[in-house]
């Protein structure tokens, strides 16, 4: 009661002209803001659900094991699969992921733990940030020139893998740097204070602490690589291939390339087959993300 009268007296004794509280109006604005944000979430979810429903509606009947066991047909959609694409994608993407993980974590450790904070490091950092924004087709051209032509390994699995590896390298570096930076300073200091060398600090404290973040970042980057089509087309993934890749120096195709090829065919059945292909691609992608979440939870709970 007294509080209310105090509040009333504050606003009545001459303070009225200096304070315009407008509490109901401020609350209305606050409410309106929350509605706007809820709206943007709902719109995003709606579009996603719409996309998925269209895909499932068109592709569901075409989902069959044939997709994994058969090769692509260009005349008859029924019974056609894309085994070469599935295997090609798995091979290319795991190789790219491994490469970017090793190079990326190494780079991130150097930048965060070893590099002196100077102009050179800043230049490096800026370049890495910029590289993560370069269109993927540019990486395709780089891969074509560097790997396929100059190193002369041809338009093979390895060239595609190296290209995609480069494409996601900046993402892996930035995610790893973030994870490394999030390891508490107190942990580093404690380790140094008992006489650990820099490497012992990195190996036993920084890396284990950063590992969940590094793995999550890498798997999300690989998820991006799995859907990339343009750089693979440039660097020589075949759109017409009826045999599985046999190794790093084999010709290859990939799932998105095959899906792209199907959508460009005139027959409507091929478009539906492409929808089924996309469902498979997304299922693989979600599985990988699931692994990422599992690893993060597992490592986050009992580190060591």
Partner 1 sequence: MATETRAEQKAINAGMASQIKESQGFDSVDSVITIRNLDVFYGSFHAVSDINIDVPKNKITAFIGPSGCGKSTVIRCINRMNDLVPTARVEGSIIYHGTEVNSSRIDPVEVRRHIGMVFQKPNPFPKSIYENVAWGARINGFKGNMDEHVEQCLRKAALWDEVDDKLKDSGMTLSGGQQQRLCIARALATEPDVILLDEPASALDPISTLKIEELLRELERNYTIVIVTHNMQQAARVSDQTVFFSLNDQRQGVLVESGATKKIFTNPDDHRTEDYVTGRFG
CB of 174 to partner 1, least distance (A): 21
φ, ψ for residue 293, nearest 5 deg? -65, -40
Q: Does 196 bind partner 1 (CB under 8 A)?
A: yes
Contact 221, 171 (CB under 8 A): yes
Q: Does 119 bind partner 1 (CB under 8 A)?
A: no
Q: Does 1 bind partner 1 (CB under 8 A)?
A: no
Q: Does 6 bind partner 1 (CB under 8 A)?
A: no
Nearer to partner 1, 19 or 304 (CB): 304
CB of 128 to partner 1, least distance (A): 20
Q: Does 295 bind partner 1 (CB under 8 A)?
A: no
Among residues 117, 133, 152, 266, the one that binds partner 1 under rule CB under 8 A: 117
The sign of the CA dihedral 245, 247, 248, 250 is negative
Among residues 6, 61, 149, 184, the one that binds partner 1 under rule CB under 8 A: 184
CB of 187 to partner 1, least distance (A): 6
The residue among 224, 229, 228 whose CA lies nearest residue 288 is: 224
CA distance 171 to 101: 10
Q: Which one of the spans 20-28, 182-190, 235-243, 283-291 is the region binding partner 1 (CB under 8 A)?
A: 182-190
CB environment 189-215: b (16+ within 10 A), e (fewer):
eebeeeebeeeebbeebbbebbbbbbb
Nearer to partner 1, 149 or 184 (CB): 184
Q: Which one of the spans 160-168, 188-196, 261-269, 276-284 is the region binding partner 1 (CB under 8 A)?
A: 188-196
CA distance 240 to 115: 47
For the chain, how many helices (H) and strands (E)?
Answer: 13, 0
Q: Does 195 bind partner 1 (CB under 8 A)?
A: yes
CB of 207 to partner 1, least distance (A): 13
Measured CA to CA in angstroms, residue 121 lies from 114, 176, 180, 235, 258 at distances of 10, 16, 16, 31, 41
CA distance 184 to 209: 9
Among residues 14, 24, 116, 133, the one that binds partner 1 under rule CB under 8 A: 116
CB of 212 to partner 1, least distance (A): 12
Q: DSSP character for 71? A: -
The residue among 110, 88, 108, 112 whose CA lies nearest residue 100 is: 108
* Residues at the site binding partner 1, with contacts judged by CB under 8 A: 116-117, 184, 186-197, 200, 204-205, 209, 302-304
């Amino acid at each position: 009661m007294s509080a209310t009268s105090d509040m009333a007296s504050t606003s009545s004794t001459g303070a009225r002209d200096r304070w315009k509280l407008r509490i109901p109006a401020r609350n209305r604005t606050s409410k309106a803001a929350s509605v706007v944000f809820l709206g943007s979430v709902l719109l995003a979810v709606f579009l996603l659900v719409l996309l998925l429903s269209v895909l499932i509606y068109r592709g569901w009947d075409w989902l069959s094991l044939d997709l994994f066991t058969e090769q692509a047909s260009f005349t008859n959609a029924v019974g056609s699969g894309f085994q070469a694409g599935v295997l090609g994608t798995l091979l290319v993407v795991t190789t790219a992921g491994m490469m970017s993980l090793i190079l990326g974590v190494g780079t991130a450790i150097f930048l965060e733990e070893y590099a002196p904070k100077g102009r050179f490091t800043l230049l490096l950092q800026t370049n890495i940030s910029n590289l993560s924004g370069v269109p993927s087709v540019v990486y395709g051209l780089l891969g074509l020139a560097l790997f396929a032509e100059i190193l002369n390994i041809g338009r093979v699995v390895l060239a595609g893998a190296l290209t995609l590896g480069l494409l996601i390298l900046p993402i892996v570096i930035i995610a790893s740097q973030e994870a490394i930076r999030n390891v508490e300073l107190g942990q580093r200091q404690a380790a140094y204070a008992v006489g650990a060398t820099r490497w012992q600090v990195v190996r036993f404290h920084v890396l284990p602490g950063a590992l969940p973040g590094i793995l999550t970042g890498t798997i999300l980057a690989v998820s991006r690589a799995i859907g990339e089509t343009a750089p693979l087309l440039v660097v020589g993934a075949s759109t017409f291939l009826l045999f599985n890749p046999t190794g790093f120096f084999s010709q290859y195709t990939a799932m998105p390339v095959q899906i792209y090829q199907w959508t460009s065919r005139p027959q409507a059945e091929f478009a539906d087959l492409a929808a089924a292909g996309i469902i498979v691609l997304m299922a693989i992608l979600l599985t990988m993300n699931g692994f990422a979440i599992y690893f993060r939870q597992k490592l986050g709970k009992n580190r060591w």
